[in-house]
Structure 1
Amino acid sequence: MKGIVLAGGTGSRLDPLTRITNKHLLPVYDRPMVVYAIDALREADVSELMLVTGGEHVDDFRSLLGDELAYGEQEQAGGIAEALGLARDFAAGERLVVMLADNVFGGSIAPTIRNFGRQETGARVLLAHVRETDHLRHLGVPRIEDGRIAEIVEKPPDPPGRLAVTGLYCYGPDVFDVIGALEPSSRGELEITDVNNHYVRAGMLEHDVFEGYWGDAGESIEAYYEVIERVRRPHFASDRTRPIPLRRFGDARGWLTEIARTSGLPKPIRQTNVSFSRKGTIRGLHYHERGQDDLFVCLQGKARVVALDRDTGETFSEDIGEDNFAAVYVPGNLAHGFEALTDVLMLYHVTEEYDPADPDEHGIAWDDPRVRDLWSTTSPILSERDSGS
């Protein structure tokens, strides 16, 4: 399997930063933007790479990256699909992993590439969670029916979901025939969304959902600096609190449920705990300075998970359990806790074993003004430690 890194375009959305250089050569914290894409592919064992960029920038990329990569020149901005089409000879009939050079993933893309390797035909895309509706209006958003992508809508005014298509695509060698049959869009470009929708119509587009941080550093000036801020955090690979849907299967005998998918987690699980809490109990807020993360699952009853970014004041809350069977992944550098909305049986996986001789446990008051209104109770049942936080 070969990798294609697409680093073309005019960079107009990052003007004036791009007046003297290609946007993918701009620094993102401690290295050029393009290096994140190359490192992500190599970490996933995709080592034979080609980079496609505008002809005037090829020498700049070669000076940075050397001759271990092949290089392709796009004469003018003709769209992502056109740039990919330039890699036909390099592909030489092999399957491809294509990555946009301004995409930054806070975790491994290897699970998606492994899944594509097991896929006999068709294409595969990687989706990511996007909470903000305004942000979704600038992205490709899939409409999902019965667990499959039914259509990808480009820049929808009314997004059909909360997932977006990232800049990671996997194709078979037939993709070049698909590109050859495309008509230019109203922008005069060959659009990658049209390529992906071809596979949708053929019933041959599979997908995965990335459960880590994803950012598009080339989307805007604001997005560029937001990605830099994320990358420079100590826990970059796992600094986003998010719900993870779980599957439960039931019949006359009872039910079977999954409680974790480690392939989608930024760090391995090292310990699992179970607690019972009576209705009205709040456990927290706690945080960990050495990087322990938590994965909460409500096995019985209903609980509210609350998290607080101590630096920005940003908060998160999600009710899980009876009406929403999901896990919630919480990076340990965020203050976090949960409220028992009913009597609850809570399971939580953690990424570090507890050391009673040197516990990495720190607290913030449950009624801190930044989270006080997120709880349903004003007089919770608390432990001695939490009541004195």
Structure 2
Amino acid sequence: MMKTVAVIAEFNPFHNGHNYILEKAKEITNAENVIVIMSGDFVQRGAPAFMDKFSRTICALNSGADLVLELPIYYSLGSAEYFAQGAVSILDRLGIVTDLVFGSECDDLALLSDIADILVKEPEEFKEKLQEQLKNGDSFALAREKAVLQALHTDDSKVKDILSSPNSILSLEYLKALKRLNSTIEPHTIKRVGSDYNSKELSNIPSATAIRSFIAKNGTKLQDELKEMVSKSSFDQIINYQGSFGNTDNFTKYLYYKIMQAGEKGLTEYLDINEELSNKILDAAQTFKTFDELCAKCKSKNMTYSRISRSLMHIVLDMKASNMEEYKADGYTGYARILGMKKDISPSIKTVKNIGNIKIFNQLKEAKENLSELEMRLLNETLFANKLYSLEFKGENVNEYRLQPIIL
């Protein structure tokens, strides 16, 4: 069987670290093909993507990817668990993916797998300790850390590092998703290189955060510095970008309108919003001036900035908790939309159509003919988010049914 490795990504924007992981993914697995599942126009930290999905698709294809698929909005803009489960469910259904490679601050796959086992199986010892610590006033993250340490019968600091590092937390979610599906896909982890995930320090391999901050401050004027941080393809896409770069504050008025509609009935119908957060948002809504300011007002020990930003974006995009429950019950997603591919991977697409348990298409008109009512709703919610993104940052009312995938 031909080996096909998958990478789950945002490429927000595509930089040297992303180029490294695509190269290493193919190298360590000896795979003939590389499939990328990529967030569309909104990303997991609760924000619009820095650049549109087709610009980032071009970067991925020019840097080693053979096929790029779009991750639907409920997962690209979901918690780490939903992000991972949604992406892995697509990979597993494709029927051709043999390996999954992901970057992590920790490259001890055995330890990551042991922790993931505990989080999936939730042995009694783990559950009792978790509840005990929550009753004692610990945040959920700290209570979970103590419960995992007890279940592993260790006080190894490496476990604490894993449970507090962004990429390692995501790695655990990928492993959990594979275990829940009893997937035959083999996981591999690559040690993260370069700057930390949230670092704003510039380097040869900076974080995406640093690049976004650099461009927000300098625009595209300091081109020599930018060239050192991103691939040639990414540099060209950034310098020649048609539109404005994604920014949460652009959605302030949309957000205010939606919150004012809710009134006394609250906001708990929206994904990831419990009664506590709903009350916080409604209380702060009387005085906030920008999207980011409202995030800051609602942030607390138990609620991170990203969690709040995601929740607010769920309000803007009308993403409901009840819809997510239906998508979960349906196996997350039964379709795969192609954003771009290399010409010579076409035979693999035919293989998916023959042996996969998923509907794969490169033109949206094919979706109408083949998707179930629920699958079509998920696609339409994703297309609504894409349209809002295009209106705000590209100045266009794009009909995605007329768009063709990128073919290189």
The structure with more radius of gyration: 1
TM above 0.5: no
- TM-score, normalising length from structure 2? 0.23
TM-score (ref. length: structure 1): 0.24
> Higher relative CO (CA 8 A, sep ≥ 6), structure 1 or 2?
2
| Higher-helix-fraction structure | 2
